Amino acid sequence: MTTIANAQNQTNMKINQEAPVIQSKTIIINETPEKIWSILSDVENWQKWNGKIKNVRIGEALKPGAEFTWVSGGAKIKSNVHTYDCHKTLGWTGKTFGAKAIHNWHFEEVVNGTKITVEESMDGWLIGLMKNKMNRMLKQDMIHWLGELKTVCEK
């Protein structure tokens, strides 16, 4: 497991509201923000609980500016952490062939658990060509991520 830095929010980058692909989903997880954060911020172990993720590599502590690579849906993605506000917000950018994304996770403590909101924007020439399909795929991927995160956190 990568040591998590005590770094705080660097830029709080927002998703691109003008992008051709935008999705946002929310779930309540019956667990503390601290436990959920410990699982979500451990990027090297995403593939242990999310079957759609493979080959995660990070060579440094997770903090603003940290880079990591991973494979999702067959695409190798190079990501850069832009926001790290412990137990509150985690965000990164991602680039792959013909596409770039901004991805953010927001944590809000609620009665009996934590409300997790994930949001993402995607653009690039390939995304523009496949806008409708990519919106459907991103929606399904977010539902999958949230469901798997809920399952692993509530064990």
CATH number, domain of 141, equals: 3.30.530.20
Confidence band for 50, pLDDT divided at 50, 70 and 90: very high
In this prediction, residue 73 carries a pLDDT of: 86
* The pLDDT of residue 14: 94
Assess whether pLDDT exceeds 90 at residue 154.
Answer: yes
How far is it, in rounded angstroms, from Cα 62 to Cα 86?
Answer: 11
pLDDT in tens, 111-127: 999 999 999 999 999 99
Q: Provide the domain count of the chain.
A: 1
Residue 14 lies in a domain: no
What distance in Å separates the CA atoms of residue 144 and residue 6, rounded to the nearest whole number? 29
Domain coverage including residue 119: 21-153
Cα angle 79-85-90, degrees, rounded to a multiple of 5: 35
CA distance 21 to 29: 26
Task: Let me know if residue 45 belongs to a domain.
Answer: yes
Task: Name which of 1-5, 80-84, 98-102 the model is least confident about.
Answer: 1-5
Instruction: Average the pLDDT over 15-43 and give the result.
Output: 97
Position 11 confidence tier, pLDDT thresholds 50, 70, 90: low
Q: Under the phi-then-psi rule, with left for phi > 0, alpha for psi from -120 to 50, and beta for the rest, what region is 51?
A: alpha
Per-residue model confidence (pLDDT) at position 9: 44
- Within a 10 A sphere around the Cβ of 97, how many other Cβ atoms? 10
- Paired tokens of 104: 């953010």
Average confidence (pLDDT) over 13-25: 96
The sheet that has 113-123: what strands, in order across it?
21-29, 113-123, 99-110, 89-96, 75-85, 67-72, 53-58
The pLDDT, as a whole number, for residue 12 is 76
- Per DSSP, which regions of the chain are E strands? 21-29, 53-58, 67-72, 75-85, 89-96, 99-110, 113-123
Task: Please give the angle made by the CA atoms of 36, 121 and 137, to the nearest 5 degrees.
Answer: 80
- Mean pLDDT for the stretch of residues 86-103: 96
- When the pLDDT of each residue in the chain is averaged and rounded to a whole number, the result is 92
Residue 2 within a domain: no
- Residue 2 predicted with pLDDT over 80: no
